[in-house]
Amino acid sequence: MRFPSIDLLRAVAIALMVTVHFVENLSGAWGEGVDFNRVGWLPAGFAAPLFTLLSGVSYAIWSDGLSRRGVSDGEIAKRTVRRGLFLFGLGIAFNVLVWLPEETFNWDILTFIGSSLLVLAACRTMPPAIPPLIALLAVAIAPVLRALAGYADFWRLGSYEPDLTLADVWLGFLCTGYFPLFPWLVFPIAGYAVAPAIFSIGHGGTSLWPAAISASRRCGLVFGMGACLLVGGGLFILLPLPGPDGVVRRPWTMFPPTTAYVAVTLGLALTAVTLIHRWLDSPGPRPIGWPLAAAGLLSRHSLSIYLLHHALHIWPLWIAGTWQGGEPTAFWQRCLPPGASLGLALVFVIACVPLFAGLERRGYRGIEGLMRWLCD
Amino acid sequence: MKNASSLAKPQHTGPAPLDFPPEGLPPSARLERIAFLHTAENSTENLPAAILQFDDPPGMRAVSADATLLPGANSSDNGFHLLLLPLEPPSDQPLPQAAIDWVAAERQAPEGMLMLSLHGASLAWSPHRTAVAAGPERLSAVRLAIIEFCYREMKLRSIERGVAEGRGAEETDARLVFEFDDRALEQRDALSRRYQQTLAMRSQLARLMPSLQRPPLHPPTLAGQIGERLRDRTRLVDRADWAGGELEVRERLYEACGQRATDWTIARRQSTVEWLIVLLLAVETLLLVVDLLASVGG
């Protein structure tokens, strides 16, 4: 079952991701005129948390649908593991092909979502109280893990640059990469845990949410939790505390994902999902017509769009760099002014709508179809 | 006025409408509505005098009811219509055809209408209509015997209906004895309710059995023999045994389901505690591993 609210939010998330990547890779995140830590760029940090939270929500809805159709738990687990491994493998291949072999283990969002699917497959077998606890622990121990691993040593000018050793690869996967398990695991697990409350489904009958509470109250409860996280995290950001060395720390950073960042983005994602679900998923005529259809199209092909937009804006950089001076990364982050990059991103997102509509009409199922064909 | 043949028209639901007196009955014929009412549910001032009192449940009484006055007295589930025909001598005349047709017009009895003739009294019985013809001196005792029989039969039919209604759920629930899972936990309240209903029916049946299996009175009376013959012909004891057998199986099933649900809930709680321990160990291991990796990498 597809929910328009999920489609819309996933479309927003993928559009934001495309925008961030175009501007960051073509114009530079740390160059003149662009700083991702500025307030104006706050929505950019919202894309990945929203996308990963929605992956958890979608997984809960997908597995519940299979369970209702009589598919056994074992079969659902197998499909989940196959999908997780497919995404993980795709993420590694993507790193090699798009970011070149030296960036194979930079732990991008695809490898993270693949890994999180494996964790979610395990969550299905756990008592309902355990997954939220894992999510809490993932946030709580992430700063400790980063401190133990020496997070700052792996990052140079906003880029993750580990040595190609087994220890660094594992540390990147766990806590120092772009999207490490800790604390990012909180988003898909939170999505998985709140989906029954918002969308009135059950994880094969197990739910954290008592059936005695009405659907609207459960939704309100999730909204309240989201609002508390948003306000609590916001207060941390607005009232930064001085560190032990007297230097005031900025608590809003995506790399590393600080606890305040996680709280605010998780709160924002939860409130957005509940509000837009109440707005769009109620029975009756939809408040908006073609924008919702376009959002549905972007959502259905979000994985293809994610891969395609990287290939479209990164490969020309590598080719031009190699052609001009032999260094593939010569034009990376200094190819275009930020305004032009932003314009290109918008053009790409808009062009995706007719492109994928046309491909759908021709029966093209994209990388999503390949995943279903291989894994289901 | 409709004739007897029009009374025999098939009805889709419930007893046929009462048109009384049917053509062909003597003017002394009397129709009464017998209702089985509980004193707890009706104020005693409004209740007519009890014709019979029952001790199962205590306070239950049979009254000759005016349907317009007593709430629930006209329900087909708690009473019946009794057509009394006092016979002039010689009192061995058969039951008039019009009375038989009137009883036969009720389509609720699956086994159809039951006819009985004994020592000059004759009767036609169906679950909600009974016609009896007897000499005036015997009619009162026969009436009491019929009322008592109808009460027991109605109770048994109510239990049989409950047993039949639960068969579908019973077949579905049988798999839960071995396959209790997360989804089944949502049905725990329904399972508990069905178990309680089964126990209630078994209890009602247990209280009913002594009255069905009591020995014949000595010396025999016409009323006693009519009651006994009616019990035999409607196979009340056998039906009670069959219902009891089915209820016994159902009770065992829901006992097993209840045990399974309780075991599963306890196991789930233990599993949560075990998972908590596993999580704490995993966190500790993770911290150690990251520390180790960092020292190796550094």
* Interval A99-132: pLDDT, tens: 999 899 999 999 999 999 999 999 998 988 899 9
- Cβ of B275 and A126 within 8 Å? yes
Strands (E), B89-157: 114-118, 121-126, 129-134
Q: What is the pLDDT of residue B110?
A: 54
Categorize the per-residue pLDDT at B118 as very low, low, confident or very high, splitting at 50, 70 and 90: confident
Q: Nearest chain A Cα to B183, which residue? A: A205
Sorting pLDDT into bands at 50, 70 and 90, what band is B149?
very high
Query: Looking at beta carbons, which residues of chain B come within 8 Å of A202?
Result: 182-183, 186
Q: How confident is the model at residue A210 (pLDDT cuts 50, 70, 90)?
A: low
What is the Cα–Cα distance from B10 to B6, expressed in whole angstroms? Answer: 9
Q: What is the pLDDT of residues A70-89, one digit of tens each?
A: 899 899 999 999 999 999 99
Between A327 and A55, residue with greater pLDDT: A55
Beta-carbon separation of B290 and A175 below 8 A: yes
> What's the CA gap between A219 and A277, in Å, rounded?
9
Q: DSSP assignment of A168-192, as one string?
A: HHHHIIIIISSS-HHHHTHHHHHHH
Closest chain B residue to A167, measured at CA: B293
- The pLDDT value recorded for residue B16 is 45
Chain-chain contact of A202 with B186 (C-beta, under 8 angstroms):
yes
Tell me the shortest Cα–Cα distance from B142 to chain A, in angstroms. Answer: 55
* Res. A212: pLDDT tops 80: no
Whether pLDDT at A12 is above 60: yes
Q: What is the pLDDT at residue B206?
A: 94
Does residue B246 have a pLDDT over 80?
yes
- Calculate Rg over the CA atoms of chain A: 20
| Inter-chain residue contact A205 with B283, CB threshold 8 Å | no
Which one-letter DSSP state was computed for residue A206? B
Q: Residue A121: what pLDDT?
A: 95
Q: Are A295 and A356 in contact (CB under 8 A)?
A: no
Candidate from A305-314, A317-326, B155-164, B233-242 with smallest mean pLDDT: A317-326
- Residues in A closer than 8 angstroms to B294, CB to CB, are 148-150, 167, 171
Pick from B268, B283, B291: which is nearest to A148 by CB? Answer: B291
Question: Which backbone phi and psi does B55 adopt, to 5 degrees?
Answer: -100, 10
Q: Which of A64-73, A83-92, B108-117, B205-214 has the lowest mean pLDDT?
A: B108-117
**Which range is most confident: A239-253, B35-49, B50-64?**
B50-64
Q: Which of A95-99, B112-116, B262-266, B283-287 has the lowest mean pLDDT?
A: B112-116
What does pLDDT average to over chain A? 88
- Range A159-180 average pLDDT: 93
Closest Cα of chain A to B164: distance in Å?
Answer: 28
Instruction: Among A311-325, B78-92, B272-286, name the one with the lowest average pLDDT.
Output: B78-92
**Residues on chain A touching B181 (C-beta within 8 angstroms):** 204-205
More confident residue, B24 or B152: B152
Query: Chains A and B: how many Cβ contacts under 8 Å?
Result: 69
Q: For residue A250, is pLDDT > 70?
A: no
Residue B116 has pLDDT above 70, yes or no: yes
Interchain CB distance below 8 Å, B183 and A148 = no
H/E stretch holding A213: none
Question: By the 8 A CB rule, do A132 and B259 touch?
Answer: no
Per-residue pLDDT at B270 exceeds 60: yes
Pairwise CA distance, residues B296 & A252, whole Å: 30
Q: ipTM of the predicted structure?
A: 0.85
CA distance A168 to chain B (A): 6
Chain B positions touching A137 (Cβ under 8 A) are: 279, 283
Q: pLDDT-based confidence at B50, cuts 50/70/90?
A: confident
Percent of chain A clearing pLDDT 70 (strictly above): 89
For B:265-284, CB contacts with A below 8 A are 268, 271-272, 275-276, 279, 283
Q: Which of A152-156, B7-11, B63-67, B122-126 has the lowest mean pLDDT?
A: B7-11
Q: Do B105 and B32 contact (CB within 8 A), yes or no?
A: no
Q: What is the largest CA-CA distance in chain B?
A: 121
Does B285 lie at the interface with A, CB-CB under 8 angstroms?
Answer: no
The answer, yes or no, to whether residue B22 has pLDDT greater than 70, is no
Is residue B294 within 8 angstroms of chain A, CB to CB?
yes
Provide the pLDDT confidence category of residue B3 given band limits of 50, 70 and 90. Answer: very low
Contact across the interface for B297 and A168, Cβ inside 8 Å: yes
pTM strictly above 0.80:
no
Examine the pLDDT at B17 and tell me if it is beyond 60: no
Token reading at A77 = 């687990």
Helix (H) or strand (E) holding A160: strand A159-160
- Residues B273 and A157: their CA atoms lie apart, in Å, by 45
Nearest CA in chain A to B267: A127
Instruction: Indicate the pLDDT class of residue B109, thresholds 50, 70 and 90.
Output: low
Quote the CA–CA distance of B40 and B61 in Å, as a whole number.
11
Question: For the residues B186-211, what does the mean pLDDT come to?
Answer: 92
Average pLDDT over residues B72-92: 75
Phi–psi pair at A107, nearest 5 degrees: 55, 70
Say if the Cβ atoms of A129 and B279 lie within 8 Å. no
| Confidence (pLDDT) at A270 | 96
Q: How confident is the model over A132-159, as pLDDT tens digits?
A: 999 999 999 999 999 999 999 999 877 8
Q: Which of A28, A212, A90 is nearest to B186 (CA)?
A: A212
H-helix or E-strand spanning residue B209: helix B188-212
Span A328-347, mean pLDDT? Answer: 88
CB contact under 8 A, A134 and B287: no
With a cut of 70, say whether residue A208 has pLDDT above it.
no
Alpha-carbon distance of A241 to B198, in angstroms, equals: 66
For the residues B30-56, what does the mean pLDDT come to? 79
The pLDDT of residue A41: 60
